[in-house]
A and B are shown apart, each in its own frame.
Chain A
Amino acid sequence: MAMMTFKIHRFNPDDERRGRYVQEYQVDVRKGMTILDCLNEIKWKQDGTLTFRRSCRSGICGSCAMWVNGMNRLACETQAATLGSNRIEIRPMPGYPVVKDLAVSLDPLVRGLMAVKPWLIANGPPPTDQERLQSPEEREKLLGLYECILCGACTSSCPSFWADGDYIGPHAFLKAYRFVADSRDDGAKAHLDACDDKHGLWRCHTIFNCVEACPKDLNPTKAISELKKELVRRKIG
């Protein structure tokens, strides 16, 4: 179809002399090829040292989130031809420490997640021999909250995270609200207290980058504002 140029930002911690640099590759992009297909072609046919994470290649595992032509995206579900350019620039997701080439450390992601007690907190034991009831309307409230794949694209694109590496992060707030909004969860106080931190909610300046970055079309900013409202309500009400 078309020969495309891939400008890839590279870094190998074992090669101090070289530091960070940009390397160009040419790929003959056939119809239907995704960015991940192109990266695999480079790795498998041209340069085995090129390093990036990948796994499910169907947009559900979140491994291959990376910065492609100005935006964090999942490489596996981004068709090269849809980017509207024959020059494609690829960098590791911003904000996270780079491990090697396009692979970043996921430690900040996990740290933020752990901070909000990301599990269902229920008072008392569940009913024996049956599920807890939850109406379809109550279940509806989880729509747009439980689908997060923890790819990290949102937090990486957030200026608050760039300014404060300990910022809990939109991915974690989305998760916190996923439980606060769940009719089965009795732990709202625990989740909210965790978000009400100096590295927490109040550092969100409603810039909406997370919303734009999310490959699953989720809305962490909305979750954050719901959490803020709930906290304010608790504080003054």
Chain B
Amino acid sequence: MDPETIHDVEGVGVHYVHRHDVIVVGAGLAGMRAAVEASAEFDVAVISKVFPTRSHSGAAQGGIAASLANEEEDHWEWHMFDTVKGSDYLGDQDAIEILVKEAPVVVREFEHMGSPFSRTPEGRIAQRKFGGHTKDFGRGGPVLRACYAVDRTGHALLHTLYEHCMKNGVRFYPEFYATELIIRDGVCRGIVAWDVINGGVHVFHAKAVMFGTGGYGKVFKITSNALANTGDGLSLVLRAGLPLEDMEFVQFHPTGLYLQGILVSEAARGEGGYLINDTGERFMERYAPDKLELAPRDLVSRSIQTEINEGRGIGGEAYVHLDLTHLGAEKIMRQLPQIHELAWKFLHVDCTKEPIPIQPTAHYSMGGIPTDKDARVLLDGKETPVTGFFAGGECACVSVHGGNRLGTNSLLEASLFGRRAGKSMVRFLRETREFPELPADAARVSIAEIDRVLSADGDQRVSDLREELQERMTRDCGIFRNAEKLEAMMADLVSLEKRFARIRIDDRSRRFNYDLLEAIELGHMLEFSELIVAGALKRQESRGAHSRVDFPKRDDEKWLKHTLAWKTGGEVRFDYKPVVITRFQPKERTY
């Protein structure tokens, strides 16, 4: 610790107050891209509950979308159409236009920073096919749009950003766990964090705070997400009195390794992999006759789940086969080496010789913290920004993914809106000379929470409650939903919350106490899960990844709008806002 950034503060009840112009929470693509941008001019610190290169962006495999047209003709308007259609018309088209127009700039900047993209024979960034990305406003076949670094694209980009943060002198606080967001009178004043390694509550006083805290796949049992992906940032925002947007939209990736949920990149299908059921049928022919395996994720996931539910899983089990064998060992090892490694290490399947058992896996949250196009967080979810608070990446909802995200648009969104957040913060800081006043009770809530958990002496194990939550969310709020299941889930959440008040933990120490962290994380998961379920119950239609078997049709008349949800005094309150439609009028979505 630099002594000059540490002050003893009487009355705040904490030992350390750090001051930086910018505090970024989360060291994934969004957070570190913002940090690279803002650190060119200002003092930036990044706080992350894991060491920066452990962030889950690094697990992304297949690619980052941009209409570079390096491999064949492409245009941003085509990318925009695909993204709007993929979103099932719930995406805001003004934001999507920015996403697709700036995509080439963002990807080239990564290249300029040194990202090791795979290359075309001419030396340009190579591109591959991905689900839902097409030519000529959906009229052509799949387009080569996903820029990639073999099948380690996320890893390559994440490490590039970490390197550039080091180059720019960004101050890292690795393994600091954010416990509180300090917003008073519509002004963000910093955050409170727990020092995971040494123990201790720290206040980070800042002129600008940016959240890039990632997703929440860990509320589901089968998920591609890291153990760290517990969505903490979302409930910190809720607790600060702000709403969350479109939380009912959760993407299930079609191909997770059976029982493990670990991601098998869509690149496997982009390179030509087939999905096969128990009868040996390439069943996507029935669901998406034109796009087959390269239909969007929501559709492919539902197709696989339907095959499983109707007994055509392999041997009647809950999986189907992803067959790559026809691609040949040479192509698999050159283009998909990580998939080969994962299938071998986790299922002992050699995918050059035999098909991979896969099942849909909870993957991505389309909803999150409502932001505007400049990544400013919206106090009311609609128009008024919180002074000095920004968000980007999976935790945020701009909304460019609407009801369903296309593959490769995630790395793009995280880096692009991370970059925009960085630029926004620079503009903001140029006008903001003074630090906002730090409230004397800044860390009161965090200290109380940590004290309570550290002394928790009830009869409930955190892991038992978490497992129950995950199992029930997968069963009752998964790919297919209905009112009956969702109502049961609401009741389950109430009883889980009650039992959560009676937890005990084994580890009472302050240093490196994951027992403590896992308990706090569970509190967060229970808190925002209620918004997912309540939002899903409210939304009586099927759109994108939100599939209600009791309301199988999309209902634009009633539901072409974004959900905003608050949680105050334990009650969920809803409001709605219109979808921004500019170029493409909603029409039926077929593939």
With contacts defined as CB atoms under 8 Å apart, how many contacts are there between chain A and chain B in the complex? Answer: 164
A101-B262 Cα distance, complex, nearest whole Å: 27
**From B117, B124, B226, B348, residue with most partner A Cβ within 10 Å:** B226
Q: Are B56 and A13 in contact (CB under 8 A)?
A: no
Interface-lining segment among A48-56, A193-201, A206-214, A220-228: A48-56
A142-B118 Cα distance, complex, nearest whole Å: 10
Q: Are B227 and A55 in contact (CB under 8 A)?
A: yes
Q: Are B121 and A55 in contact (CB under 8 A)?
A: no
Total interface residues on A, CB under 8 Å, equals 61
A149-B52 Cα distance, complex, nearest whole Å: 11
Q: A130 is contacted by which of B108, B166, B260, B512 (Cβ under 8 Å)?
A: B108
Residues of chain A with a CB closer than 8 A to B515's CB = 43, 48-49
Residues of chain A with a CB closer than 8 A to B112's CB = 122, 126, 131-132
Residues of chain B with a CB closer than 8 A to A119's CB = 113-114, 163-164, 166-167
Judge if A86 is at the interface, Cβ distance under 8 Å: no
**From B55, B113, B174, B512, residue with most partner A Cβ within 10 Å:** B512
By beta carbon, the residue of chain B nearest A113 is B166
Q: Are A63 and B54 in contact (CB under 8 A)?
A: yes
Judge if B156 is at the interface, Cβ distance under 8 Å: yes
Judge if A85 is at the interface, Cβ distance under 8 Å: no
A57-B227, A118-B166, A126-B112 given as contacts; is B461 within 8 A of A44 (CB)? yes
Describe A's contact surface by its main secondary structure. Answer: loop
A15-B117 Cα distance, complex, nearest whole Å: 49
Q: Are A59 and B345 in contact (CB under 8 A)?
A: yes
Judge if B329 is at the interface, Cβ distance under 8 Å: no
Q: Are B163 and A54 in contact (CB under 8 A)?
A: no
Judge if A114 is at the interface, Cβ distance under 8 Å: yes
Q: Are A51 and B507 in contact (CB under 8 A)?
A: yes
By beta carbon, the residue of chain B nearest A60 is B59
Residues of chain B with a CB closer than 8 A to A179's CB = 114
Nearest-neighbour CB distance to chain A for B88, whole angstroms, equals 29
Residues of chain A with a CB closer than 8 A to B113's CB = 119-120
A52-B114 Cα distance, complex, nearest whole Å: 33
Q: Are B227 and A100 in contact (CB under 8 A)?
A: no
A58-B164 Cα distance, complex, nearest whole Å: 25
B residues near A (Cβ < 8 Å) are 50-51, 53-56, 58-59, 107-108, 111-114, 116-125, 149, 152, 155-156, 159, 163-164, 166-167, 174, 197, 226-228, 259-260, 262-263, 338, 341-342, 345-348, 461-463, 505-507, 509-515
Please list 8 pairs of residues, one from A and one from B, whose beta carbons are closer than 8 Å in the complex, sorted by A's number: A54-B227, A55-B228, A57-B262, A60-B155, A61-B54, A61-B58, A105-B197, A131-B107
Known: A51-B514, A60-B58, A101-B512. 6 other contacts (CB 8 A): A44-B462, A44-B463, A49-B509, A100-B511, A120-B163, A135-B123
